[in-house]
Chains A and B, each alone.
Chain A
């Protein structure tokens, strides 16, 4: 006979819960699986009807994503030397040759720089501000906090035109710095509020103990508060990254070349040489990965929760 526990759910309710979760996961993951598989289909397979679930995998989509290709005359084509690389070979199958790399790599790197840059800046400033609001006597604290929150109440795109004009004047249009500042400005209110909640929960006694143990306030912040705020920092960082990574409207408006991110770029793939669904799907798949990897890396912190155990209440 197994022991009966008051806090652990019973085996039956656990399996029912598991079933529900798995069912829900399958439903939500199906479109993602479809994108993933389309990325590995050949052009004809991707638009065949009825849709193919089983197909011969091909890297055509990925090769098309990263290259630009040209169609050349038949005798010219026949005169070409044999393909040197595996991707040359794939391209030749559709009667084209590689003209050069596509812009996707650059755009993707722009997304990475702007997304992670603005996330870092939001968290860095947000943590310091949240700590100050949580611990110090700040004049007009409540009003300031409300002001910070209020910047979030208007849909950011409502100020698109002024920002567009301002950025043009300041020379920030289509620059990495400009986009990082913009996304940071949008995210910082969320960051301050979320992080303040987490830091409020960390008892002051820890910092006081560190002050007495011979540390300065800033050192106490770094050695005692930061490790305990890790959970809050991780989850806030994920929120910030998701916003900056997915943002489309400002990216369309303010970037065109130099600093264009992946979201406005991916739709333009369709136009290149007919409707290249596998390439679009490949781009979408790669675009999904960073946020997913980031979340998985920080999962430990998200799940761990905050430890209050060592303070007697």
Chain B
């Protein structure tokens, strides 16, 4: 139960400016997903909130109180590290019990055992409880690492790509499980992922980072449908948004527009100008078309059972595309 605030936070590692003037308010009970390419500052943001790093500028608040002077333990956060760091000298069971045995909690052993068992069950690692932490597969380590965050009930959960090395089915199961925990506990989550489905289905808010700056913060739908720049527009959407010169489909562009962004839903197939099918990618639930349109390539979606094949010609027409100016900013 906590509202987290970052107020003009800046932080650098030596010459590398990792974060620059980042301000955001994470409402109590929100599930915030941080997006951004590698090196954008996502992990740094989590470490600052956890108290593992000290910002050079700005303030960090939890429930309105500045926490800059608090130790990580006092901030009462749980964190799943990107490099899931299980204690190698302990068993899986003791790894999971470790936070519960901390001097902050001092729970009776019986309750610890019960909680460890319950978390192990929900993460499907019950049968590995007696393993050494080093005798696990990558995905199992990752689940133990998540488990270590879930055994206690902190005010804030910080998760750095927690599902990245799981298989698709387990990932889908745990996605639901984490969402259920979020709903049950009403805790505040800050979650880093590169996975579009995780971002769209779990998030109440999405923050997009670009080289240490927060460029947009909003609901997943806002980020997807109403991006402020080509950079944000490229973060979400599979296939990625296609960017073309504004006049590619003839006149009709707004005055300042330099680029048009086309997501699959912005492309009507069957009317308009001619394009050639380069490649048909059948992914099962969807089929992607790679089209040659003049000198440009456009990627869009079509009916999964389409009879189209490479080399054929189809007609396409843009519909309500996103317009961007010469700097990539939305018009």
| Residues of chain A at the chain B interface (Cβ within 8 Å) | 203, 205-206, 208-216, 219, 224, 227-228, 307-313
B50 and A212 contact, CB distance less than 8 A? yes
Neighbouring B residues of A215 by C-beta, 8 Å: 73, 102-103
Interface hub of B50, B71, B73, B77 (most chain A Cβ within 10 A) = B73
Q: Given contacts A219-B103, A313-B83, are A211 and B72 in contact (CB under 8 A)? A: yes
Please state if A206 and B85 are interface contacts (CB–CB under 8 Å): yes
| Interface flag for B163 (CB, 8 Å) | no
Contact between chains at A307 and B102 (CB < 8 Å): no
Contact with B85, one of A203, A214, A216, A307 (Cβ below 8 angstroms):
A203
- B152 contact set on A, CB distance < 8 A: 214
- For A310, give its contact among B73, B77, B105, B141 (CB under 8 Å): B141
Q: Which of B71, B88, B148 contacts A211 (CB 8 A)?
A: B71
- State how many angstroms separate the Cβ of B249 from the closest Cβ of chain A: 47
Contact B87 A212 (CB under 8 A): no
Residue pair A216, B73 in contact (C-beta under 8 Å): yes
CB distance from B66 to the nearest CB of A (A): 19
Nearest CB in chain A: distance from B134 CB, A: 4
Does A309 contact B88, Cβ atoms closer than 8 Å?
yes
B89 touches A227 (CB 8 A): yes
Pairwise interchain contact B88-A213, C-beta atoms closer than 8 A: no
Of all chain B residues, the one with the shortest Cβ separation from A209 is B85
B86 within 8 A of A: yes
List chain A residues, Cβ under 8 A from B133. 309-310
- B134 near A213 with CB under 8 A, answer no
Cβ of B84 < 8 Å from any Cβ of A?
A: yes
Q: Which residues of B contact A307 (CB under 8 A)?
A: 88-89, 134
Residues of B within 8 A of A216 (CB): 71, 73, 103
Residues of chain A within 8 A (CB-CB) of B52 are 208, 211-212
Other than the given A213-B99, A213-B148, A228-B89, 15 more pairs (CB < 8 A) read A206-B85, A206-B88, A208-B81, A209-B148, A210-B98, A211-B51, A212-B79, A213-B98, A214-B103, A215-B103, A228-B88, A310-B85, A310-B133, A310-B134, A310-B136
What is the bound-complex CA distance between A206 and B88, given in angstroms?
Answer: 9
User: B40 within 8 Å of A by Cβ?
Assistant: no
Chain B residues with Cβ below 8 Å from A208 are 52, 72, 81, 85
Which one, B77, B81, B87, B136, contacts A224 given CB within 8 A? Answer: B87
CB <8 Å contact, B85 and A309: no
B104's nearest neighbour on chain A, judged by CB, is A214
The winner among B50, B83, B85 for most chain A CB atoms within 10 A is B85
A262 to chain B, nearest CB (A): 37
Q: Is the CB of A310 within 8 A of B87?
A: yes
11 pairs of residues in contact across A and B, judged by CB atoms under 8 Å: A212-B51, A212-B72, A212-B77, A215-B103, A216-B73, A219-B103, A224-B87, A308-B88, A310-B86, A310-B88, A312-B83
8 Å CB contacts to A: which residues of B73-111?
Answer: 73, 77-79, 81, 83-89, 98-99, 102-105
Assembly CA distance A264 to B73 (angstroms): 54
- Is B304 in the interface zone, CB < 8 Å from A? no
The answer to the question of B37 belonging to the interface, with a C-beta cut-off of 8 Å to chain A, is: no
Residue of B nearest to A308 (CB): B88
Is residue B138 within 8 Å, beta carbon to beta carbon, of the partner chain?
Answer: yes
Chain B residue with minimal CB distance to A206? Answer: B85
Q: Are B85 and A205 in contact (CB under 8 A)?
A: yes
Contacts of A212 in B (CB 8 A): 50-52, 72-73, 77-79
In the docked arrangement, what's the CA distance between A224 and B81, Å? 16
Taken residue by residue from 138 to 160, chain B's Cβ proximity to chain A (1 for < 8 Å, 0 otherwise) reads as 10010000001000100000000
In the bound complex, what is the Cα–Cα distance between A214 and B107 (angstroms)?
13
Report B-chain residues with C-beta under 8 Å of the C-beta of A311: 83-85, 88
Rounded to whole angstroms, the CA-CA distance of A307 and B103 in the bound complex is 26
Q: A209-B81, A211-B52, A214-B104 are in contact. Are A312 and B134 (CB under 8 A)?
A: no
Q: Which residues on the B side are within 8 Å of A308 (C-beta)?
A: 88
Distance, CA A156 to CA B72, complexed state (A): 45
Please state if A312 and B72 are interface contacts (CB–CB under 8 Å).
no
Q: CA separation between A228 and B148, bound complex, in Å?
A: 20
Question: Known: A209-B81, A216-B71. Is A312-B99 also a contact (CB below 8 A)?
Answer: no
Query: Which residue in chain A gives the minimum CB-CB distance to B82?
Result: A312
CB distance from A118 to the nearest CB of B (A): 28
CB distance from B58 to the nearest CB of A (A): 21
